[in-house]
Structure 1
């Protein structure tokens, strides 16, 4: 909660609103409820560090309008859509006129008729200083889904969510920022999803929405360009939501972190922040061998492209789930490990809890009851299809199954000198049924606890939503990206989205992308490396020396400039490591994201709310790399004095630098003079 400046909103434009010092010093009075023409009004007064708000509940047709300082900052949808919606009998229904209400023990309870005869909505609103809790149920009618709908424009711009499913290829090639600038149509939005997501959204009007559920959701934000946000839970149980009303978007984020928790540690070490991880996937895909991996590592070292780990990705096993090397392609894994260690690299392996039906481990796991059971027939193992075939999933709620799986990993470590693992795929699937006493979301927690026993080598693990996901402090790697400019651009806004739902240790997908597409062009590869050098971690695969085109089988060779510029990006990132590590420690103390949108630091700067290609790396570094085909770009600088690293000059903001020259060898970056850590950043970037 921030005390200094209140932000009022009209449409998408914010303006500062100030209160008198005398009023700011008054202790917050309690909330009150009154009846007005056509509405029940709940008023929460401002406090020392809270802005206060007014919630108007329309009684003619139930709708919720949240106001701050007399201006609407969040409003539900009306008309045929309805604010409190439910699905029953194959059709959508919604609450209509309020038939009764009462204010008792700090809870406003409302009863409303609905568009479905015989069905009634009961809503309970519990105010707090900087938020209110909204819980509601449907009685009668046999509802199977409950949802809230909002008028997006009432709150300005929308953010949060995490990796988005969109009609334009999200999350692989499209990540709208703000969300309503595109279309988010995300079914299966839930704790078992492979996407990094959380049911939390925040706005430029400094409001926020958290849906408290362990069930899957259907989320639509401007789907069909309808201007609506629909947040639907695929279950008939009580709909529980928290609406935050704050002074700045950062304050809303901090309120949310106060609920879900901040990282208790970072699973990555200083070296893993300082140097890139090299993974074999986009370099070879499944056509990897022992000799190819060794040649790859040697070539990287010979060209000064040093990292901390060489990680062997998919297709090292004899069959998926065997957890044994394929002797035809990896005849001497211990010798390979020794050679990599001699070059100064750690050695890592890609692993999954999914065991293919043709693996010898599958029948062993079935015979011992180690696999999740089918939701359709719990007497049988659950089988799921994935990109490598059909598999069962190790049941992490079974202690014996977990011990067996961990034992297999430790055998690999002891036999071959494996230092850590990249854990891939999910820990649960909707085709499976959880063990008695467990919910699907519990498997995210169990997966986090299991993987946390091992060095994740700077690629972390994709767990979210569940109770310990935020506290675990894992690095978050993005879903696979394409290899074009649109994927590079999506990787930037996606990092901002993931970072601001509480997962601050972010990195893009492998530099240059993957997804089985032709390798990135020289320009995309270099620009991606330059952008990643100004992020918390660098995750690499495609070698800037030479790589393989998976679509043609031909070798692609880059030129010397590609190598030199990629090396320069690595070196810049390593010089920044002391500053980045300092930001890691700040995050562990306060939960704030390291890579964040400009408006987190400069909430009064109107231009900052729609910028998609700049970000703050901590409080002192503004990154503005070129993410497109041109050699010039515009750079927006908020208020303050900024040191222009490329041009060696001071610039006073707010200012927009148009036509800023950024040929392939230039990465626009600015240091805010006087900000915490500015001296370290200047030393690194000069």
Structure 2
């Protein structure tokens, strides 16, 4: 009687399992009844070999693999006892290493908290392993590492991320969700190892005494998203201005890479203006400095930076600079920072940690040292005051796992320190690559560098979509046309990339549609005259969406709603979209279906409802596929959802 009353007080019903005699303990099955806004679920603890199975409405939606919980040198095995501590069910199990394993499960209405530890072992690797097929398709996690494929869904390919970390340059979140509306939030401030493939998902935490996570069980994937954002926080603001949402940022990286000087930048900016290609900011990327970390202009290539800023301002645009927290050893500032204790230390000594990166060997400013932060930001403010610099693109990482943190700080703490510091400045629509629970800052997030090919375009769109689905609504692709130190994109790739980006929250540009340089050969590349016209048309399309986007930005700040989102967030029953990566919703009323492969036709899958086509001026009934939709190079397929919030304004904007 007392047990029944306690269960009712916790909102739970505990029943005995009939699956196998070994699971006969009445605590081995936890049934959570449906409630207001929650579907209810049943969780069964396998006592023959410690594991979990979750079902909802009689269907299995999550199952651990046969080796469900592992640690260095051991695997959890038979459950010796089950008990309760309040609402928490505690399983004591054996392991192949002869050490006891303790699993704690605390059910709640739409989720359960799961934690397990190994008796007598200090911090180390702890892993949970899941069967992929039981859960349907897997998504989430953010970006795969640069140079690696970004499967869509993740479970459709192979993911191998041995350095999945708060300190990563990739946008990564310890959060995954499935097409069966289950989410997994691994609660760790330390690096992870993530692998999906061969029918299983392996999620490993490092440097941890316990593996702690929350599993969401909902009716829709959008509800799982809301659960996760409810845990980590929604954006408290948008860091980008209305102007930064309305037209592109122009950054010099893919246009010139490191072969940059004052005359080239002015030629580039003037060509764009003459071609009618709008923008809000011209930003110098890599190689404007006298040395990496000096935070002073190279006088040989930029003899009069103050005049350069004035010339850019005269064109009606802001002026910005790329900057990094890493100071190369041959920089004058390195010795200063080293002598003042402004650099993070090595793990095995009190000496500064040195790390290799794409521009040499460097030390890293210790953001855990307030004096170091003040010194760095003081240098930035001097650039603003002396030369008319308006803002910055912050690049590289805030920390590196090869180094030692300061005091009790974790790698995740350095994300917060870096975010707080960079939040003082205008990031000019380039944003900052900060992650692992940094949603509340409302930064623009750019996808990592991508190839200048069709594959690069598809990959960049997949990355941006993954970032948005992790709770960062103000997303953009890599620079339009790609980068990655490759030859410039073809005319078709450049135009189609601009068209796709025009149907996203922000546009991030570099390669001029007038002319650029193949830096692999040093030869100029002049695009056909209509390239700039087509590119400018895409920019104008984006500008027409400005009012609609401002409404979506306010919605994202109000409740965390992603702006660019998978179609299944709004149409959960339409499983055709589970594997479609070249269509998305921009807010509730615009279906984007750009062409991202060679050719002038594509199939368009329409969700249920009525959809207005701005190009043909026709209303198309949904729930079907438009085969062979005609999309010559001057056409970007898109459809307005009749009756959705904002649809009338969109129709007016897109047809006038």
> Shift of residue 438 of structure 1?
1.5
Are positions 1:51 and 2:51 aligned together?
no
Structure 1 SS opposite 2:607: strand
Q: For residue 529 of structure 2, what is the aligned residue in structure 1?
A: 560
Are positions 1:244 and 2:197 aligned together?
no
Alignment deviations for residues 509-555 of structure 1 (CA, whole Å, 9 cap, x no partner): 00000001000000100000000000000000000000000100000
Q: For residue 365 of structure 1, what is the aligned residue in structure 2?
A: 337
Between the aligned partners of 2:482 and 2:595, the Cα distance in structure 1 is: 17
Are positions 1:136 and 2:116 aligned together?
yes
Give the conservation status (yes or no) of the 8 Å contact 2:190–2:410: no
* 1:230 counterpart (202, 213, 238): 202
Change (3 A) 1:628 1:126: same
Structure 2 SS opposite 1:257: helix
Between the aligned partners of 1:673 and 1:603, the Cα distance in structure 2 is: 18
Are positions 1:339 and 2:314 aligned together?
no
Unmatched tracts of structure 1, length 5 or more: 1-26
Between the aligned partners of 2:451 and 2:305, the Cα distance in structure 1 is: 31
Between the aligned partners of 1:137 and 1:67, the Cα distance in structure 2 is: 25
Between the aligned partners of 2:379 and 2:257, the Cα distance in structure 1 is: 24
Stretches of 4+ aligned residues off by more than 6 angstroms: none
Give the conservation status (yes or no) of the 8 Å contact 2:121–2:209: no
Q: For residue 514 of structure 2, what is the aligned residue in structure 1?
A: 545
Matches within 5 A, 1:287-298: 287-298=259-270
Alignment deviations for residues 183-233 of structure 1 (CA, whole Å, 9 cap, x no partner): 1101110100010010000011010000000111110011xxx11000011
Q: For residue 160 of structure 1, what is the aligned residue in structure 2?
A: 140
Q: For residue 69 of structure 2, what is the aligned residue in structure 1?
A: 84
> Shift of residue 635 of structure 1?
0.5
> Shift of residue 140 of structure 1?
4.1
Structure 1 SS opposite 2:336: helix
Q: For residue 68 of structure 1, what is the aligned residue in structure 2?
A: 56
Q: For residue 4 of structure 2, what is the aligned residue in structure 1?
A: none
Between the aligned partners of 2:637 and 2:298, the Cα distance in structure 1 is: 46
Structure 1 SS opposite 2:72: strand
Are positions 1:430 and 2:401 aligned together?
yes
Give the conservation status (yes or no) of the 8 Å contact 1:278–1:541: yes
Are positions 1:270 and 2:242 aligned together?
yes
Alignment deviations for residues 31-73 of structure 1 (CA, whole Å, 9 cap, x no partner): 1323323321011111021100000111111121100011101
Give the conservation status (yes or no) of the 8 Å contact 2:429–2:444: yes
Between the aligned partners of 2:328 and 2:238, the Cα distance in structure 1 is: 33
Q: For residue 457 of structure 1, what is the aligned residue in structure 2?
A: 428
Task: Give the TM-score normalised by the residue count of structure 1.
Answer: 0.92
Are positions 1:30 and 2:11 aligned together?
yes
Between the aligned partners of 2:410 and 2:342, the Cα distance in structure 1 is: 18
Between the aligned partners of 1:496 and 1:396, the Cα distance in structure 2 is: 30
Q: Higher mean Cα deviation, 136-145 or 236-245?
A: 136-145
Give the conservation status (yes or no) of the 8 Å contact 2:135–2:178: yes
* 2:179 counterpart (194, 197, 204): 204
Q: For residue 379 of structure 2, what is the aligned residue in structure 1?
A: 408
Q: For residue 112 of structure 1, what is the aligned residue in structure 2?
A: 93
Q: For residue 545 of structure 2, what is the aligned residue in structure 1?
A: 576
Between the aligned partners of 1:683 and 1:573, the Cα distance in structure 2 is: 14
Q: For residue 535 of structure 1, what is the aligned residue in structure 2?
A: 504
Alignment deviations for residues 485-531 of structure 1 (CA, whole Å, 9 cap, x no partner): 00100111111110011111000000000001000000100000000
Matches within 5 A, 1:381-392: 381-392=352-363
Are positions 1:94 and 2:63 aligned together?
no
Structure 2 SS opposite 1:221: strand
> Shift of residue 252 of structure 1?
0.3
Are positions 1:179 and 2:160 aligned together?
no
Are positions 1:441 and 2:429 aligned together?
no
Structure 1 SS opposite 2:506: coil
Q: For residue 483 of structure 1, what is the aligned residue in structure 2?
A: 452
> Shift of residue 142 of structure 1?
6.8
Are positions 1:148 and 2:132 aligned together?
no
Give the conservation status (yes or no) of the 8 Å contact 2:513–2:532: yes
Between the aligned partners of 1:102 and 1:131, the Cα distance in structure 2 is: 20
Between the aligned partners of 2:649 and 2:287, the Cα distance in structure 1 is: 42
Between the aligned partners of 1:41 and 1:682, the Cα distance in structure 2 is: 53
Between the aligned partners of 2:310 and 2:57, the Cα distance in structure 1 is: 66
Between the aligned partners of 1:488 and 1:261, the Cα distance in structure 2 is: 30
Cα RMSD after superposing both structures: 1.3
Between the aligned partners of 2:445 and 2:411, the Cα distance in structure 1 is: 21
Change (3 A) 1:165 1:405: closer
* 1:257 counterpart (229, 241, 252): 229
Matches within 5 A, 1:289-328: 289-328=261-300
Between the aligned partners of 1:256 and 1:28, the Cα distance in structure 2 is: 26
Change (3 A) 1:415 1:236: closer
Q: For residue 219 of structure 1, what is the aligned residue in structure 2?
A: 194
Are positions 1:674 and 2:652 aligned together?
no
* 2:327 counterpart (337, 352, 355): 355
Are positions 1:285 and 2:257 aligned together?
yes
Between the aligned partners of 1:31 and 1:94, the Cα distance in structure 2 is: 30
